[in-house]
Structure 1
C-alpha cells in the first residue's frame, strides 16, 4: 500500500501523462480541484469513494493507484500456469490463462474436468457475470435451481450472483474455457 505522498504522486503522474488539468479532473469526477491538489501533494488521504471517482475520471480502476508494484496494462501468458483446485475433488481443476492486469476484473481460465470431477455440492457465487464455452467432453452446469447440459460447441452465460457449480457428466476429460467478470472496487 503506498503512502499518502506516493498515492498522490501516482495520481498526479497519471493526470499529467494524460495532459489533464486539475479542472479537467474536477469536471469529470465532481471532486474539487483544491481537494484533488491536496491529495496529489500528499496532504490528505482520499476516501474510497473519492479515489474511485478520481480513478474513473482518469479512465483507471482505483486499484491502479494502490498496487505496490507497477504492473503492465497488457498481460499475456503463453502457457497455462499452475492449476488451481476448484473443489476438494482434484479431478476438477482451473488453469489460469492470464495473470491479469492492475485493477482487472476479468478472470480467464481453462477448466479441466475429469470423469467424476464435480463442483457439486460445492457451489459458489460472486458479483458479476460468468460465461463458458465447452471445447471437449460433456458438462453439467447448475445455476440456481436450473441444470444445463453442455457439449462441445455449447456456451453458457449467467449472473454470478446465483449459486453455481459444474460437473463432468461424460466418460472423457472435458475442457472448457471460462471468463468471469467481477464487479466492485
Structure 2
C-alpha cells in the first residue's frame, strides 16, 4: 500500500487504522467481536488499528462491512465528499456487527458513508430468538424506533413500553434502553439514531 500522508501528516496505514479504531470504539465493540465477524485475528486487527501493518483490500472490505461503513470512509481524509444521495434496494442493507449481534439481533444498516462526522444511523433490526437475556444499550444522541412486525416490550429508563406494528418510540440514547421481552416473533423494527452535532 502506498506510504502517502493524510491531511494531518499521518502515514496512510496509521490514518486507516485510526479510522477503524474510532468506528469500533464508537460502537463499543471489542477486537474479539470484530475478529469473529471478519475472520481476521485479534492480533492482526490490533496491528492494523495501530498502523503497524498494511491491510489488504480484501481485509479492509471485510472490516468496513462489519463496522457498517464503506471502504471510502476509511480513506475519508483522502477523499472528497461523496454523492449527495444513496439508494439502498430492498434486502441490500449491509449486515453489520453491533453489541446485540451475539444475542440474536440482526442489524442491516440502511445508509452509510456520511462523511467524516456521522450524523445518523438507520438500522433494520430483526429479532427471532428470546432464549437469551438482551443487553442494555446507551449512546449519544436520540433514537427513534418504528415497529414493522411482531410485538416487543422495550425498556427506556424505568419504563417498559409494549410496541406493536405501527407504534413508534423516541428517547434519549444516553438513557439505558433495550428489549425487555419478545412477545411475538419474528420482530422487525426500524431504529434511527441521530447523533448530536459537534460544537463548532
Q: Please classify the TM superposition score into its range, dividing by the shorter chain length.
A: 0.5 to 0.7
For normalisation by structure 2, the TM-score amounts to 0.54
**2:194 pairs with one of 167, 173, 181:** 181
User: Is contact 2:95-2:106 (8 Å) kept?
Assistant: no
**2:8 pairs with one of 3, 12, 25:** 3
Structure whose CA Rg is larger: 1
CA RMSD across the alignment:
2.6
1:114 and 2:124 matched = no
**2:88 pairs with one of 73, 77, 99:** 77
Range moving further from structure 2, 78-87 or 107-116: 78-87
For normalisation by structure 1, the TM-score amounts to 0.58
Give 1:98 deviation, angstroms: 1.2
Residues 1:118 and 1:128: Cα distance change in structure 2 (over 3 Å): farther
Give 1:126 deviation, angstroms: 1.6
1:67 is matched with 77
User: Is contact 1:112-1:173 (8 Å) kept?
Assistant: yes
Count of aligned pairs: 124
1:129 and 2:142 matched = yes
Structure 2: state its 5+ residue gaps: 1-5, 10-75
1 CA distance for matches of 2:124 and 2:164?
Answer: 16
**2:110 pairs with one of 97, 121, 141:** 97
